[in-house]
Chain A
Amino acid sequence: MKTVIHMIATLTIIGVIAGGLLSEVSDWAVPLIAMNQKAETEKAIFLVQPSGKSYEAVAGAGFEIYKVFDENKNLTGFSMAYEGNGFQGKIRLMIGLSADLNNITSLEILEQVETPGLGTKVTEDPFRNQFKGLQTSPQIEWVKGKSPEKPNEIQTVTGATISSKSVVAIINAGLTKARQLKERGKL
């Protein structure tokens, strides 16, 4: 009986001390972590909307989409964070759209776990720059092994076909959602 009480007492004391210590540290760290995340999102929003000066989250969208305004408070377009499956895991994109949703202004890859040296080529400029000014209607198409001909086509990267296709599929899925929002008059 004595050992049992000793065991319970020791673990309780250690647990209480550890818990108290952690709550102190967490009080200090949580605001900083939130600030980091906000700064990161902000940076990504303006990265795909270079002329943007301020932004506003669209409420009730079900995913992250932001209205971006220039210095005169005119709507310049939208920044949309959207994710989907890549070759090995989630790919998370920040997509910049023009105000009428008909063109992509720019594309950033926020998170990915593609194969280093192969799938990760989709994060490099030659691939991403294809999306600048790309037409989005009716949807984005990809071609393999030849130069794109239509204004809504991009070329997949050799060695990263699946990753390239995944990026296109994620953008198309996001676009469908954005168009639905527009139809409902939320954008």
Chain B
Amino acid sequence: MSKQKSNWYEFYKGIWEINPTFKQILGTCPTLAVTVSVMNGIAMALATTFVLVFSSLFISLVRKFIPNQVRIAAYIVIIAAFVTIADLVMKAKFPELSKALGPFVPLIVVNCIILGRAEAFASKNSPWKSVLDALGNGAGFLLALLIMGSIRELLGSRTILGYQILPNGFEPLVVMILPAGAFLTFGLLMGFSNFYLERKKRIEQQELIAKFRKPEVKVEVKGMEA
């Protein structure tokens, strides 16, 4: 990886490498609560991404004017403004979705993903990079909610996005749409994601070791021939 990280990297790192849900383990409260159906998950992720992108952009734009002592207060005001906008727009245009998400839209204000990215990234980087970082993290959050929502809706109500997938003979696992099912799904997914990343890391390490060993072996062989 070069020192000058590419813009593309700022975007895609959020999807998997530092996935807000599975790797940073931020914003778990809405993740667990709203993923009873895929649609709720999508709506929640889109609302969060909207707030994330705009607050990152604005925080990055004003980052040089905000005194260090009051930076968190300033971030929260900016974030709260965008959350209120998102909440009002949803109530006005998508009343059904707004009802399904209940208090979790206003609660985006205290969602750690947004304050986390503001503090860790947007306050130190250019607006363009901050927007890419926000989009990447939003996409990662969307991916996580999509997976969680699909698993829980499929097993809990036999449907995906309201379309029946599993046959009537399959008895819905009610536990999957209860909070317990959310914890089960979340734990298993986090386990799988860590298992996968660990294995990838181990393979990379072994490749690296093998790469450094090869020349030594060759030298030895040459020496023996001589």
Contact = CB atoms under 8 A, between A and B. Distances in A.
B151 to A, nearest CB: 16
Nearest to A116: B177
A5 to B, nearest CB: 10
Contact of A118 (B66, B73, B77, B174): B174
Q: Specify which of B62, B93, B95 lies most central, judged by the most chain A CB atoms within 10 Å of its CB.
A: B95
Size category of the A interface is 20 to 34
B185 to A, nearest CB: 15
Interface residues of B, number: 26
Given A29-B91, A116-B174, A117-B177, A14 B85 contact: no
A16 to B, nearest CB: 10
Contact of B95 (A25, A30, A40): A40
Given A14-B74, A18-B80, A117 B172 contact: yes
A147 B89 CA distance: 48
B70 interface: yes
Given A7-B69, A15-B77, A25 B89 contact: yes
Contacts of B177: 116-117
Contacts of B28: none
A1 interface: no
B218 to A, nearest CB: 63
A26 interface: yes
B67 A3 contact: yes
A22 B67 contact: no
Contacts of B77: 11, 14-15, 18
A10 interface: yes
Interface in B89-113: 89, 91-93, 95
B174 A7 contact: no
Contact of B73 (A3, A11, A29, A115): A11
A10 B70 contact: yes
A115 B85 contact: no
Interface in B160-179: 172, 174, 177-178
Interface of B: 36, 62, 65-67, 69-70, 73-74, 77-78, 80-81, 84-85, 88-89, 91-93, 95, 156, 172, 174, 177-178
6 contacts: A3-B69, A6-B67, A25-B85, A25-B89, A28-B92, A32-B92
